[in-house]
Amino acid sequence: MINVLNSKLTLEGYQHPFYSVGDKIFYSKSQAIKFGKQIDWHWPNFHVWPKQKGFSRPKQTFDEAIKTQCDLISDCYKKVRLFYSGGRDSGLILDSMLRHNSRLDEIAIYRRYPGVVNNTCNEFDRFNIIKIINRLLEKYNKKIPIVFYDINPEHFNFYSKNLDQLFFDYTAIEFFGHGIHTVAECYPKILENNFVNILGHAFPDVNDKNEFYWVDTAFNLTHNDPFTLNFFVDERNTDLAVNIAYEVHEYQKNSKQEYFQYGNGPDGSYFSIKEKLDFPKNGTPLDEDWTSSKVQTNVPERWILSKKDILYMANALESDIGTETLHNFTEFYENYEKNNAQYFHQNSIYTYWIGSVSETHQLIDG
């Protein structure tokens, strides 16, 4: 059913985010933690641009740095695939690539069906995002294939019986969360023809010492994804991330919040920064944080109560195979938490990993 992919497939010339424990490199947080516990190394180091540097405010504007990144991707790679979610980050990348006549050979969509295939549990169908893409293609007079890679109930059920070997180490923490690694195992053809897989996340945080850095949870923890390039953190075009860091810094100087905490409230989702930098909106709930259920419990920020995860669990419970899958996931997560509680907020796996912070870089003009 799947083509198991155990090793990281890297791009030449691009620095992939990674963890280090002692002299060993990992692209999986859980694998790094597992090895660290064996050698009494409490916390894995996280790296994005490994060598610490200082950066003046870029001469290129943010828009100019976006064009530079589009040109860089077009020049360096023979085939370009953009994984598009309908959100503002991938929306900016798609619009920019089309506007600048960049190389773009495929717009890829993955959808998740833990229990049954329907048109309500995935936001792509729920909000008719195909209409948004077609409207953009028409605007720029482009014809680019749109390809769907669906992870179906049979896939999830198979993984649920092999979570410790094949799934948990390579995915986001949500029950049915996954990245390109899972897609590549289910559809190995995406590894052919020298494609680069473009992803959006993540934005830098800035502290009160005028230093910027990244938190690994802002990347969805899918560093093991094959042949991927995070559009906003390419060290060959530092002006892009540094421009964002200076915008974050300026915003924080005028904000009551001391610094960003990724995923925590409107500031943590960078809505204000995206507004300032004119990230495009598509008129759907994906323009905002639609996944928040507004449900409050005695333990805050439970990912298991997000709209998206509730929809996936409800979808799983619509079939026998999905119900079995959800049971397998829950059983595995309960056992994993018992042995690794210290790595989660409030010692609960359902409140997400405690983030690992990367090396810091100085904003010289802060």
Which residues, other chains included, contact 35 with Cβ-Cβ below 8 Å and sequence gap of 6+?
A: 21, 24, 26, 41
| The predicted structure's pLDDT at residue 261 | 54
Q: Tell me what the mean pLDDT of segment 278-284 comes to.
A: 91
Q: Tell me what the mean pLDDT of segment 189-212 comes to.
A: 93
Q: Is the pLDDT of residue 285 over 90?
A: no
Tokens of 322: 């999905």
Q: Is the pLDDT of residue 363 over 50?
A: yes
Which amino acid belongs to residue 307?
K
| The predicted structure's pLDDT at residue 264 | 44
Q: Is the pLDDT of residue 263 over 50?
A: no
Q: For the chain, what is the mean pLDDT?
A: 92
d(C-alpha 231, C-alpha 228), whole Å: 9
> Of all residues in the chain, what percent carry a pLDDT higher than 70?
95
| The predicted structure's pLDDT at residue 262 | 47
| The predicted structure's pLDDT at residue 267 | 55
- Pair type for strands 211-213 and 205-206: antiparallel
- Model confidence at 319, pLDDT cuts 50, 70, 90, reads very high
d(C-alpha 250, C-alpha 273), whole Å: 10
| The predicted structure's pLDDT at residue 258 | 57
| The predicted structure's pLDDT at residue 298 | 72
| The predicted structure's pLDDT at residue 232 | 97
Q: Tell me what the mean pLDDT of segment 293-301 comes to.
A: 70
The residue whose two tokens read 């930098």 is 277
d(C-alpha 86, C-alpha 130), whole Å: 9
> Distance of CA 158 to CAs 71, 183, 325, 333, 348, Å?
40, 14, 8, 16, 26
- Whole-prediction pTM value? 0.94
| Backbone phi and psi for residue 151, each to the nearest 5 degrees, phi listed first | -95, 110
129 vs 269, higher pLDDT = 129
d(C-alpha 71, C-alpha 67), whole Å: 6
How many C-beta atoms lie closer than 10 Å to residue 296's C-beta? 9
List, for residues 59-81, the tens digit of each pLDDT value.
999 999 999 999 999 999 999 99
Tokens of 178: 């996954």
Q: Tell me what the mean pLDDT of segment 348-355 comes to.
A: 94
Can you tell me whether residue 80 is helix, strand or coil? Answer: strand
- Model confidence at 174, pLDDT cuts 50, 70, 90, reads very high
The answer to whether the CB of 268 falls within 8 A of the CB of 85 is no
| The predicted structure's pLDDT at residue 186 | 97
List, for residues 3-41, the tens digit of each pLDDT value.
999 999 999 999 999 999 999 999 999 999 999 999 999
* Cα Rg of the chain (Å, integer): 20
How many C-beta atoms lie closer than 10 Å to residue 317's C-beta? 15
| The predicted structure's pLDDT at residue 208 | 87
Q: Tell me what the mean pLDDT of segment 339-349 comes to.
A: 95
List, for residues 93-105, the tens digit of each pLDDT value.
999 999 999 999 9
